[in-house]
């Protein structure tokens, strides 16, 4: 293998199955152990280097030593604060790297579909030419995948939906690819219906009235809107699979999951992320730890039930832990793309045998956050059979570090 310079590199996708079948004849979701051909542009000439993703030989059930190491790491006091979203904004950092990470796992003959549910802009810097950290994830997906994927953004607030389209034309990184962006000014839930939006909290926290939490206050109601489901959305493109779905709808995440049961059952989603936060259930606003009786009252609105549901459909659920780079010494730092300002991200498996009652963070958030605000976490969900996606994400985030050495990469 020739020596590669780290600068001026680009990835070109070339996916081969173990049998050598061409990508057009073998869909990307059936390719379990692809080989990625990487071409490096050096001094104006192309030199080829092959980068292989080694097959993951993992036992069907993790060992007790592996499970114990995962739980021990997660419950260390030095790690617990990193699960709160605003500590390191790990999901946003991962979103910026998704194109580089996922494109080698796709079939070049099929254009990937990316979906952002709850795509509102949170930035006041609307007319900047360059992307900024508070831009919609839909815009980051568009900027990363360029012309090779279709991005669908769902936003229940019509004004916010229009902002996404306007800013996409304004940003230098997205303007050339706006023809690949579809913005849907509608809600997403568990059934197709008419509903009204409600503002229960900050000015940008709009929810559907039917899913707004009852926390002893009246939520101002907005306009009536159409609500769809992800199953209904995908029905018109039954021959295509969804490479990535992001769901951040201020407490309506569980309703969105209920409305994508067919997609999950058919395993047509490769990767997804969900916000797991205070609005999942009114009890999550309680200052102290929930009692055993209160935990029973959560019923389906718990991370325990969420991971069980996804696991039954063939998906693995992870809590995203992100430590700001400033927490780490130079010799300890693992950063995305080796940029010093990116967080150090670790995926904590919370599915199957990995589950521990303490991972229900919103039931006792002070155990993790001390006295730092409300419950606010992000989840990553990976289709169990897609070894390519799982291995590339783990390689990107964990790098050469063996976070859970007893697991040997099998999380």
- pTM greater than 0.85: no
Pairwise CA distance, residues 261 & 97, whole Å? 28
Mean model confidence pLDDT for the chain: 80
The percentage of residues in the chain with a pLDDT greater than 70, rounded to a whole number, is 76
> Which residue from 79, 84, 74 is spatially nearest to 278, judged by alpha carbons?
84
User: What confidence tens digit (pLDDT) does each residue in 133-172 have?
Assistant: 889 999 999 999 999 999 999 998 888 899 999 999 999 9
User: What confidence tens digit (pLDDT) does each residue in 76-111 have?
Assistant: 877 788 999 998 899 999 999 999 999 999 987 889
Pairwise CA distance, residues 64 & 49, whole Å? 39
Pairwise CA distance, residues 110 & 113, whole Å? 9
195 within 8 A of 209, measured Cβ to Cβ: yes
**How sure is the predictor about 335, in pLDDT bands with cuts at 50, 70 and 90?**
very low
Pairwise CA distance, residues 372 & 242, whole Å? 36
- What integer pLDDT is reported at residue 94 of this predicted model? 95
User: What confidence tens digit (pLDDT) does each residue in 229-272 have?
Assistant: 999 999 988 778 899 999 999 889 999 999 999 999 999 999 99
Has residue 36 got a pLDDT over 60? no
Which tokens sit at 59?
């036992």
Where is 41: in which H helix or E strand? strand 35-42
Has residue 27 got a pLDDT over 80? no
Ordered by where they begin, the domains of the chain are: 60-407 (3.40.50.150)
């Amino acid at each position: 293998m020739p020596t590669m310079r780290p600068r001026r590199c680009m990835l070109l996708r070339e996916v081969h199955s173990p049998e050598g079948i061409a990508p057009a004849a073998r869909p990307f979701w059936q390719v379990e152990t692809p080989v990625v051909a990487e071409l490096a542009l050096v001094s104006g000439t192309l030199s080829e280097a092959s980068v292989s993703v080694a097959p993951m030989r993992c036992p069907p059930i993790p060992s007790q030593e592996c499970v114990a190491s995962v739980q021990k790491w997660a419950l260390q006091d030095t790690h617990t604060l990193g699960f709160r979203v605003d500590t390191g904004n790990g999901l946003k950092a991962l979103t910026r790297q998704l194109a580089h990470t996922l494109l080698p796992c796709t079939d070049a003959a099929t254009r990937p579909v990316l979906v952002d549910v709850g795509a509102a802009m949170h930035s006041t810097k609307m007319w900047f030419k360059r992307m900024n950290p508070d831009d919609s994830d839909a815009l980051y997906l568009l900027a990363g995948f360029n012309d090779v994927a279709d991005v669908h953004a769902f936003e229940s607030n019509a004004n916010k939906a229009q902002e996404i389209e306007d800013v996409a034309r304004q940003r230098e990184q997205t303007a050339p690819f706006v023809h690949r962006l579809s913005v849907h000014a509608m809600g997403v839930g568990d059934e197709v219906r008419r509903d009204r939006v409600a503002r229960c909290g900050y000015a940008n926290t709009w929810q559907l009235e039917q899913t707004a939490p009852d926390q002893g206050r009246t939520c101002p109601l907005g306009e009536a809107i159409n609500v769809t489901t992800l199953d209904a959305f995908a029905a018109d493109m039954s021959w295509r699979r969804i490479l990535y779905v992001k769901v951040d709808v201020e407490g309506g995440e569980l309703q969105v999951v209920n409305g994508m049961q067919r997609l999950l059952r058919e395993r047509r989603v490769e990767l997804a992320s969900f916000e797991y936060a205070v609005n999942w259930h009114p009890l999550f606003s309680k200052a102290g730890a929930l009692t055993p009786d209160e935990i029973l009252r959560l019923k389906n609105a718990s991370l325990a039930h969420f991971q069980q549901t996804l696991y039954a459909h063939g998906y693995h659920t992870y809590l995203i832990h992100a430590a700001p780079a400033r927490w780490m010494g130079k010799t300890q730092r693992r950063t995305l793309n080796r940029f010093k300002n990116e967080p150090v991200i670790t995926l904590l498996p919370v599915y199957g045998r990995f589950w521990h009652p303490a991972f229900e963070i919103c039931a006792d958030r002070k155990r993790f956050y001390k006295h730092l605000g409300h419950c606010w976490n992000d989840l990553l969900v990976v289709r169990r059979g897609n070894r390519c996606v799982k291995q590339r994400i783990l390689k990107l985030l964990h790098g050469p570090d063996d976070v859970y050495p007893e697991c040997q990469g099998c999380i």
